[in-house]
Amino acid sequence: MAEQGFAVLILAAGKATRFKSEHSKVLHRLAGRPLGAYLLETALEAGPESLYMIVGHEAEEVQKAFARPRLGFIEQKKQLGTGHALLVARPELERMACDSVVVLVGDAPLLRAETLRALVAAHRKSRAAATVLTTRTKNPQGYGRIVRSGGRVRAIVEEKVATPAQRRIQEINSGIICFSRLKLIEHLGKLTADNAQKEYLLTDLIEIFNHHRLKVAAHLVADSREVLGVNDRLELAQMEKVLRLRKAEALMREGVTILHPECTYIDAEVKVGRDTVIEPGVSLLGATMVGEGCTLRPYSTLSDSLLGDRVTVRPCCVISSCQIASDAVIGPFAHLRDGAVIDAAARIGNFVEVKKSRVGRGSRALHLTYLGDASIGERVNVGAGTVTCNYDGEKKHPTTIEEGVFVGSGSMLIAPVRIGRNSYVAAGSTITEDVPAESLALGRARQVTKEGWARQREALKPYINIAVRGSGSATVFDLSGRLTLGDPINQLRAEVRPMIEAGRRNIVLNLTKISYIDSAGMGALVGVLKAVREVNGQLRLSGLPPQVRVLLETANLDRVFEVCADEKEALASFGSTEGS
């Protein structure tokens, strides 16, 4: 009689409590894929007759992530333990025709399909009610210990309730158990939540089976890493390192050079051709495929992209969802995205972004360029600083550059626009209309040169120079430039104030070299006069230029200030005043 098949139940309903996360554990990313994807693929490869995943927390997201043609889902709406998951699955268990059911935890990514098949074979051979998949480890801390007697499993004892002798046992429970389906159904109802965890526990079935004198066997796995789970983020990182190194080792055995595997990140589904060299810091993610003889320089990230043969990706490029044909050169610091296609022998240089565009064979865009929604023919040169202006604020528009076109540096191509074959666009042009084939397009304003403009501008700048010197009991401030609103009047105040505070009460403001003074400057002079008078000092204005004197007289300030013809007269006036 032909041997019956077996069924697999994957437990994936729980919340990642020890991850301290709001998300389902099986959805956490591991080496580019959801954690649960590894065990699911192993289960599918093992060839079960029936395959179910029991979901609960984030059930909708989990089903969306793991939907497969041969996979069914059972929802555990209340997560009351691993045993409760089987109680929820009981209707499906009763409908199955197979004789054995393997219960898997969803966080054992290194488990092999061969191990699952060997577990089922050992279970059938032993004619046990249940067979526990076990392993031995030198550091069993945190795991349930397997207590044997007479070759049978008598108990699975959790560490926190284990005796000192039991804690020394190195054989541990993997959480994976193969059951006789009929025996499981018969005794499933005997599970209770009368335990420390207040949950229905899968491992309690071992005690129940022993109580009813049913045989419980163990199948030992030699490589303990194969069945160790991922219980927190630390173990997730450790598992990530294991998987990525395994991937790197597999590629190196197939003829790929990886200079520093520990610093290279390659997802499980990535394919790389022979004689490709991958330098440190490179990330190859998703479904990326790299051809033969490529060179991937440091710190570039490629995701879901297809590279032909002999492609060079220079340092620090970001390439996502793109196709790059053979002999192309990309970067450094290039960004290719959203379905960009780079044809053979094309070159994309530093600080060039290509979005949703095709760059033809042998074409070049080497510096500081944006190509968005563009179709670029063969042998096109795109000069530095060129931008395809594809977005008008509401819609994206295409730019077409036919073969043989030369686009000069700093050109703005306002889409929608077409540049005909073998045409030239002059540097600095703004192109808003189609350019016929074999034409020159020049779209920039005529240059205007204003001679002497910089000198005139400099003369109009608000500046003032102030030199301070003593002359007997007086302090002379030599002012030159423009006394106007802003820095000039602030500078005057900042120079005068410390002198007054230091007891220098006789002040001369020498205005001989003042070229202009505005109303704010006049106000500043009045402010100085007020400050001097507050300390019973004296202020003289000397050497007023004609234009300043006119302003003073117009504002009737010549009656307020003591105005002297020159500095000598001003200094002399202090002596006569002091002597009077």
3-state secondary structure of 266: strand
The span from the CA of 468 to the CA of 450, in Å, is 38
The span from the CA of 80 to the CA of 244, in Å, is 35
Which amino acid belongs to residue 247? K
Q: Considering Cα of 166, then 171, then 174, then 178, what sign does the dihedral take?
A: negative
148 or 160: which leads in pLDDT: 148
| Residue ranges of domains in the chain | 6-226, 244-441, 462-579
Has 28 been annotated as catalytic? no
Lowest mean pLDDT among 4-8, 248-252, 370-374, 421-425: 4-8
What pLDDT, on a 0 to 100 scale, did the predictor assign at position 366? 97
What pLDDT, on a 0 to 100 scale, did the predictor assign at position 579? 38
**To which residue do tokens 């990886």 refer?**
258
Percentage of residues of the chain with pLDDT beyond 90: 79
Active-site hit among 84, 123, 187, 367: 367
Could you tell me where the beta strands, DSSP code E, fall in 397-484? Answer: 399-401, 406-407, 412-414, 417-419, 424-425, 430-431, 440-441, 464-471, 474-483
Residue 3's pLDDT band, with cuts at 50, 70 and 90, is low
What pLDDT, on a 0 to 100 scale, did the predictor assign at position 458? 74
* Exposed / middle / buried, residue 133 (Cβ in 10 Å: 0-12, 13-18, 19+): buried
The crossing angle, in degrees rounded to 10, of helices 204-211 and 181-188 is: 90
Structural tokens at position 499: 């002198």
Given a cut of 80, is residue 261 above it in pLDDT?
A: yes
Q: What is the CATH number of domain 462-579?
A: 3.30.750.24
Element (H, E) at 307: strand 306-307
pTM of the model: 0.76
What pLDDT, on a 0 to 100 scale, did the predictor assign at position 535? 93
Q: What is the pLDDT of residues 83-101, one digit of tens each?
A: 999 999 999 999 998 999 9
The span from the CA of 202 to the CA of 187, in Å, is 12
Percentage of residues of the chain with pLDDT beyond 70: 99
The span from the CA of 557 to the CA of 549, in Å, is 9
What pLDDT, on a 0 to 100 scale, did the predictor assign at position 180? 94
Residue 1's pLDDT band, with cuts at 50, 70 and 90, is very low
The span from the CA of 326 to the CA of 344, in Å, is 5
Structural tokens at position 20: 């301290």
Residue 576's pLDDT band, with cuts at 50, 70 and 90, is low
Mean pLDDT for all residues in the chain? 92
Query: Per the CATH hierarchy, to which homologous superfamily does domain 244-441 belong?
Result: Hexapeptide repeat proteins (2.160.10.10)
Q: What is the pLDDT of residues 401-413, one digit of tens each?
A: 999 999 999 999 9
Identical fold between 244-441 and 462-579: no
Backbone angles phi, psi at 543, to 5 degrees: 60, 40
Mean pLDDT throughout 29-34? 92
**To which residue do tokens 């030599």 refer?**
478
Q: Which CATH class is domain 6-226?
A: alpha beta
DSSP 524-564: HHHHHHHHHHTTT-EEEEES--HHHHHHHHHTTGGGTSEEE
Lowest mean pLDDT among 47-56, 150-159, 354-363, 500-509: 150-159
Q: Distances from the Cα of 549 to the Cαs of 13, 514, 542, in angstroms? A: 92, 11, 10
Q: What is the pLDDT of residues 479-536, one digit of tens each?
A: 998 899 888 999 999 999 999 999 999 999 999 999 889 999 999 999 999 999 999 9
3-state secondary structure of 49: coil
Q: With contact defined as beta carbons under 8 Å apart, do 278 and 298 qualify?
A: no
